[in-house]
Amino acid sequence: MSPAGQPTSNLPASNLQRGARVVLFGLVVNAFLAVGKIVSGVFGNSYALIADGIESTLDIFGSVVIWGGLKFAARPPDATHPYGHGKAEPIAAAVVAVGVIAAAAGLAIESVREILTPRHGPEPWTLLVLIVIVVVKELLYRSVIRIGDSVESTAVKTDAWHHRSDAFTSIAAFIGISIALIGGEGWEPADNWAALLACGLIAYNGVRLLWPALHEIMDTAPRGEMAETIRQAAATVPGVQLVEKCLLRKMGLYYYVDLHVAVDGAISVRDGHDIAHEVKNAIQTTDPRITDVLVHVEPM
- β pairing state of 290-299 and 254-263: parallel
Q: Rounded to an integer, what distance in angstroms lies between the CA atom of residue 214 and that of residue 72?
A: 18
Specify the pTM.
Answer: 0.66
Closest CA to 180 of 113, 115, 104: 115
Q: For residue 251, list its beta bridge partners.
A: 254
Give me the residue spans of the domains in the chain: 11-217, 226-299
Q: What is the pLDDT along the chain (300 residues), one digit of tens a residue?
A: 444 444 444 555 566 677 777 777 877 888 888 888 888 888 887 777 777 787 777 777 777 887 788 778 778 788 888 877 888 888 888 888 888 888 788 878 877 877 777 666 678 888 888 898 889 888 888 888 888 887 777 777 777 877 787 787 788 778 888 888 888 777 767 777 877 887 887 788 788 878 888 888 887 777 778 888 999 999 999 999 999 888 888 877 778 899 999 999 889 999 999 999 999 999 999 888 888 899 999 998
Instruction: Note the pLDDT of residue 119.
Output: 65
Instruction: Note the pLDDT of residue 38.
Output: 87
Length of the chain: 300
Backbone φ and ψ for 256, nearest 5 degrees, come out as -120, 140
Q: Which residues contact 60 (CB under 8 A, 6 or more apart)?
A: 27, 30, 31, 34
Q: How many helices (H) and strands (E) does the chain have?
A: 8, 3
Instruction: Judge: domain 226-299, CATH 2.60.40.3500.
Output: no
Instruction: Note the pLDDT of residue 263.
Output: 92
Instruction: Note the pLDDT of residue 236.
Output: 92
CATH architecture of the domain formed by 11-217: Up-down Bundle (1.20)
Instruction: Note the pLDDT of residue 237.
Output: 92
Closest CA to 57 of 34, 39, 41: 34
Q: Rounded to an integer, what distance in angstroms lies between the CA atom of residue 53 and that of residue 195?
A: 11
Instruction: Note the pLDDT of residue 1.
Output: 41
